[in-house]
Amino acid sequence: MTLGGTFQLGVLNVQRLGFGTMQLTGPGVWGAPNDRDGARKVLRRCIELGINLIDTADSYGPNVVEELIHEALHPYPETLIIATKAGLTRSGPDRWEPRGNPDYLRQQCEGSLRRLGVDQIDLFQLHRIDPHVDADEQFGLLKALRDEGKVREVGLSEVSVTQIDAARRIVPIVSVQNHYNIAQRDADNVVDYCQLQGIGFIPWFPLGNGKFSAPGGPLEAMAAELGVTVPQISLTWLLRRSPVILPIPGTSSLQHLEDNCEASEISLTDIQYQELADSRKAMRRWTMSG
């Protein structure tokens, strides 16, 4: 599989279709998965399918997924790029709070290095900008970790264009990870900015279409026409939307993982792509009529 071609995240060469690990935990992204061995099998299958960008975070579990990655894949293939994140704390299932003071971010980086079993984190991302801490202090800590060689490249998550510009004045930014999918496109301007600047855009929740992907919804007819699934067409659209988009669909199912990878082999005509791009209008009409 081509997995959508490749993209250069600074010095890191990645396949455009990656894997997000949030679902490899217990309910509410809390605790260990019910099937730990199954989670390890999914991670190993990623490598077999050619995926070389695995995205995680210290807050997944917390700590659980970084440990799973080490259990399943260490010693790592030379081509594997592991991206992790810091900047959120957890107090229970589905509970997340920003924490961006530099001492905490440094502590979490050191913990990720230990859990992953590496001397350097390939891509270290600020999970959220903490509004209670000066943003430049948070960006400055990212620069310090990069200068010290603890992280190779730096990324941001859930940021505006203005915030990306502010960060780039302090440290090179190679990736931005915002909520984005075919139905939820509030970050369109960030995607366009990233494309202009050559920054990778990693959409989290790339399949989160809600009613948009429900039976009888706007995507179903197009998926049926192409003989594919709705999740596959959602990923295909993202890969076509911009060459800097790097989807990271997550799953705990081997079958879903393989189905997601097959999305990179699907082609859309210009007309089909535009119909999907305009399909939010159809979604609104469908939702109102339903």
The rounded radius of gyration (Å) of the Cα atoms in the chain is: 19
What mean pLDDT is predicted for residues 156-162? 98
Distance CA 120, CA 69 (A): 15
81 falls within a domain? yes
With a cut of 80, say whether residue 85 has pLDDT above it: yes
Instruction: Give the CA dihedral 60, 16, 200, 104, nearest 10 degrees.
Output: 20
Give the CATH number of the domain where residue 53 resides: 3.20.20.100
- Residue 137: domain span: 6-207+244-250
pLDDT, tens digit (0-9, with 9 covering 90-100), for 184-197: 999 999 999 999 99
Statement: residue 28 has pLDDT above 70:
yes
Compute the distance between CA of residue 117 and CA of residue 213 in angstroms, rounded to an integer. 39
Higher pLDDT, 215 or 44: 44
Cis peptide before 206 (omega within 30 of 0): no
- Which of 60, 76, 193, 273 is the catalytic position? 60
Residue 134 pLDDT exceeds 60: yes
pLDDT confidence bin for 115, thresholds 50/70/90? very high
What tokens were used for 24? Answer: 């490899």
Whether the per-residue pLDDT at 288 is higher than 70: the answer is no
Q: Taking all residues of the chain, what is their mean pLDDT, rounded to a whole number? A: 93
Q: Which residues, 6+ apart, have CB-to-CB distance to 37 below 8 Å?
A: none
Does some domain include residue 235?
no
DSSP element (H, E) containing 129: none
Mean pLDDT computed over 125-133: 98
At residue 206, the 3 state secondary structure works out as coil
Interior CA angle at 4 toward 197 and 215, to 5°? 105
Q: How many helices (H) and strands (E) does the chain have?
A: 11, 11
What is the distance between the alpha carbons of residues 197 and 114, in angstroms, rounded to a whole number? 33
Within a domain: 118: yes
Q: What pLDDT shows up at residue 211?
A: 67
179 pLDDT tier (thresholds 50, 70, 90): very high
Contact indicator for 199, 175 with CB cutoff of 8 Å? yes
Q: Could you tell me the pTM of the whole model?
A: 0.95
Contacting residues for 18 by C-beta, under 8 A, at least 6 apart: 51, 52, 53, 54, 55, 202, 246, 247, 248
- Whether the per-residue pLDDT at 286 is higher than 50: the answer is no
**Tens of pLDDT, residues 16-27:** 999 999 999 999
Catalytic site includes residue 193: no
**Within a domain: residue 222?**
no
Instruction: Indicate whether 128 belongs to any domain.
Output: yes
Q: Once rounded to an integer, what is the mean pLDDT over residues 68-72? A: 98
Residue 232 lies in a domain: no
Number of domains in the chain: 1
216 pLDDT band, cuts 50/70/90, is confident
Asked if pLDDT for residue 268 goes beyond 70, the answer is: yes
Confidence check: pLDDT of 266 > 90? yes
Helix (H) or strand (E) holding 82: strand 81-86
Residue 156 within any structural domain of the chain: yes
Residue 282 has pLDDT above 60, yes or no: no
